[in-house]
Amino acid sequence: MKNKLILLSVLFSLYACQSIKTTASKPEESSNLNIDRHTTAEITKIPVLNLGTFHMGETSDVHKTEFDENDKKNQNSIKNIAIKLAQFKPTVIIVETPPSFDDKLQAEYNSYLTNPKMTFKNPSEIEFLAYEIGRLCGTKKIHGIDHKMEYNFFIGKEIPNAIDASWHDNFYKDPFKFYPEINVDDSKLNLLDKLRLTNSNTYLNFLIEANAEMLSHVGTQNGFEGADEATKYYQRNMRMYSNLNRLQLTPNDRVFILLGASHSAYFRDFISRSPKYKMVNTFDYLK
């Protein structure tokens, strides 16, 4: 009995010592967490207004939105929207052109600043919206970040699909039926409401699914042909994001990004996770 009491006493002592060590370590862990929070608070992120749009001029995109860029009502609507977005006061404007076009882009933009009534042969959202926002704010710098890559959006119709042809084909017959919140006749919407719809999270998620992730349901018996094509679209957007990161931006900058909405969908995800950038609420400027 005496031996048992001694053994219990030893075990209790060991447990007590371990408990003291564990308790003693907590202030140090807490201190480290405080340091991490303090360090994070000191990081000043670059604010970004990320606007997705349909292409307002000629486009090679599979899906097009009808828009008469020569209609005076449309032009006036764009100018009113530009006034709203200009409240963000960007110091840098980013558009969907390749970086190799930057010198010509900057020169044309500078001409517009001097003569806002100048005409363009094939105007798009860049000339209509980006240039006007820049003019209203006195923005000096404009850059393109596009990176062209070919990918086969129609591969599901071109190979024997052994993964899930039924689901893939059913989706593309009427993709909007799976997204009832955005299943509207956009021809009945004014331009501002079209942009509000396009920049909603549901619509941006739909664009990623319809343009890429649905292809993961396509492939031969032992192949991943659809997934590989979808990866090319992701790669294109990641390379565009890399082009953004090549720019010498500082926390003093305010960055306005104007891209086709499927690219904006990816940029929403990239920027939202970034410790470098801060996504501002697009709808604060689409009132």
The rounded distance, in Å, linking the Cα atoms of 29 and 139 is 46
Identify residue 193 by its one-letter amino acid code: D
- pLDDT level of residue 63 (50, 70, 90 thresholds): low
Angle, helix 261-273 to helix 201-211, in steps of 10 degrees? 110
Around 263, how many Cα atoms within 13 Å sit in the side-chain half-sphere?
Answer: 27
What pTM does this model have?
0.82
Indicate the average pLDDT of the chain.
87
Residue of higher predicted confidence among 25 and 175: 175
Residue 29 has pLDDT above 70, yes or no: no
Strand order in the sheet with 46-53: 141-144, 92-95, 255-260, 46-53, 277-279
Segment 63-77 shows an average pLDDT of 74
Query: Residue 275 — pLDDT band, cuts 50, 70, 90?
Result: very high
Q: Give the helix, strand, coil percentages of the chain, each rounded to 5.
A: 60, 10, 30
Least confident of 71-80, 106-115, 170-179, 220-229: 71-80
Q: Which long-range contacts (CB under 8 A, 24 or more apart) does 180-188 make?
A: 182/206, 186/65, 187/66
